[in-house]
């Protein structure tokens, strides 16, 4: 088939840069436009010098220019890496233009705007009204490994912390391994993220002299990804669980390491590590980007790739599952391309099989 024209919103951030890298090397997608209202007409390669060899003279577009493209392309792939609170309304305007013109873009939103089932649930977390409540019904939020096909025409990709936590947690819940305690099953999550997870605009948490050779927690037990993780885990496993999540800022640029711990349910008391690993491998047997290892996963082994590495251990009373993903790739741009491949009927692995860079 001919290559599918691909459009990217929010084009100057780290996730957009990773999208550009993946799409430029994708065998069946082709960059047709990159939107940045703040830099229309400027060279995209100026914002991402490392991509200059594959971007040529590509220029940022304004919203009006990109809207005309959407209305004139019979089929297109549209990725939004626009900020939370901006993405929803922007996508809605573009889809309305496409609907009026009779064209059919497929959308994967990497912001948080379409991750919740209702506008009220979104507003409760992000403290502002949803930008396009009537459009929520057109989006489904899940990691690809936990949903065989999207029931809606468009997809919202979970956040990077959520991706790693869900990959580690959903098997435990689906297999009934976690004790329910007095109410719901409780999973204790500790996660460490690289500085690129905070976005391109410099802030105290990403300033190198502050972050270098240091490790510290933030938003303990109140991180905004918790409601998202809870909802996605329930949808994937059928079990509503409590997640006690403590995120940390790590002294590296890319990658996430998450450890999920939980007490074993009584019927599984005495479960050994080998059996637990076998169960995880069986659970992800059809997932091309998930590898279950015999030893602890390392961030360097997945950086710049769409692969997730898991390991687990059990002492017969408690289980611990460790997961590492690249926050910009599997946790954002790569997972989004994986979804887009599905939405377009392409091989799920197209453009995503490159191994990790290593020694970063």
Tokens of 223: 């991180």
Mean pLDDT to the nearest integer, 263-275: 96
The CATH 3.40.50.720 domain(s) of the chain lie at 4-141
Tell me what the pLDDT averaged over the chain comes to.
95
What is the reported pLDDT for 259? 98
Q: Rounded to 5 degrees, what angle do the CA atoms 152, 258, 139 make?
A: 10
Q: What is the DSSP string of 247-292?
A: EEE-SSSS-EEEEEEEEBPGGGTT-BHHHHHHHHHHHTTT-TTEEE
Query: Could you tell me the fold of the domain covering 161-326?
Result: Dihydrodipicolinate Reductase; domain 2 (3.30.360)
- Looking at the predicted structure, is the pLDDT value of residue 1 above 90? no
Give the pLDDT band (50/70/90) at residue 201: confident
d(CA 11, CA 17): 7
Catalytic pick from 141, 160, 232, 323? 160
What is the reported pLDDT for 182? 65
Contact 304, 329 (CB under 8 A): yes
What is the reported pLDDT for 181? 65
Tokens of 174: 């689906």
Q: Does 232 participate in catalysis according to the annotation?
A: no
**What confidence tens digit (pLDDT) does each residue in 88-123 have?**
999 999 999 999 999 999 999 999 999 999 999 999
d(CA 91, CA 111): 11
Q: Rounded to 5 degrees, what angle do the CA atoms 339, 345, 346 make?
A: 75
User: Which residues contact residue 298 at a Cβ distance below 8 angstroms, ignoring those fewer than 6 apart?
Assistant: 309, 324
**Full-model pTM:** 0.96
**How many CB atoms sit inside 10 A of residue 313's CB?**
15
Torsion sign across C-alpha atoms 72, 78, 83, 84: positive
- Name the residue among 264, 82, 303, 254 with its Cα closest to residue 178: 264
**What confidence tens digit (pLDDT) does each residue in 151-176 have?**
999 999 999 999 999 999 999 999 99
What is the reported pLDDT for 37? 83
Give the pLDDT band (50/70/90) at residue 207: confident
The CATH 3.30.360.10 domain(s) of the chain lie at 161-326
Domain 4-141 belongs in CATH node 3.50.50.60: no
């Amino acid at each position: 088939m001919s290559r599918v024209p691909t459009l990217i919103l929010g084009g100057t951030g780290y996730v957009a840069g990773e999208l550009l890298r993946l799409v430029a090397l994708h065998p069946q997608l082709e960059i047709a436009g990159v939107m940045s209202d703040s830099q229309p007409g400027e060279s995209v390669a100026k914002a991402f010098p490392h991509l200059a060899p594959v971007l040529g003279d590509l220029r940022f577009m304004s919203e009006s220019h990109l809207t005309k493209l959407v209305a004139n392309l019979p089929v297109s792939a549209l990725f939004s890496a626009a900020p939370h609170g901006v993405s929803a309304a922007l996508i809605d305007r573009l889809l309305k233009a496409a609907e009026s013109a009779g064209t059919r873009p497929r959308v994967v939103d990497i912001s948080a705007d379409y991750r919740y089932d209702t506008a009220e649930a979104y507003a409760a977390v992000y403290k502002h009204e949803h930008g396009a409540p009537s459009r929520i019904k057109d989006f489904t939020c899940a990691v690809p490994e936990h949903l065989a096909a999207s029931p809606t025409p468009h997809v919202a990709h979970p956040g990077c912390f959520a991706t790693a936590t869900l990959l580690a947690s959903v098997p435990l819940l689906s297999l009934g391994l976690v004790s329910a305690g007095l109410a719901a099953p409780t999973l204790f999550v500790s996660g460490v993220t690289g500085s690129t997870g905070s976005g391109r605009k410099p802030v105290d948490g990403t300033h190198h002299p502050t972050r270098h050779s240091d490790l510290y927690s933030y938003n303990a037990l109140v991180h905004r990804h918790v409601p998202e993780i809870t909802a996605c885990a329930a949808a994937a496993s059928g079990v509503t669980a409590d997640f006690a999540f403590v995120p940390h800022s790590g002294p590296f640029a890319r990658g996430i390491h998450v450890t999920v711990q939980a007490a074993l349910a009584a019927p599984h008391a005495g479960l050994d590590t080998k059996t637990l690993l076998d169960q995880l491998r069986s659970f992800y047997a059809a997932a091309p980007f998930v590898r279950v290892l015999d030893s602890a996963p390392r961030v360097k082994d997945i950086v710049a790739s769409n692969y997730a590495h898991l390991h687990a251990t059990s002492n017969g009373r408690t289980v611990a599952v460790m997961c590492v993903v690249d926050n910009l790739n599997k946790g954002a741009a790569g997972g989004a391309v994986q979804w887009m491949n599905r939405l377009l009927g392409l091989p799920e692995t197209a453009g995503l099989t490159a191994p990790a860079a290593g020694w970063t």
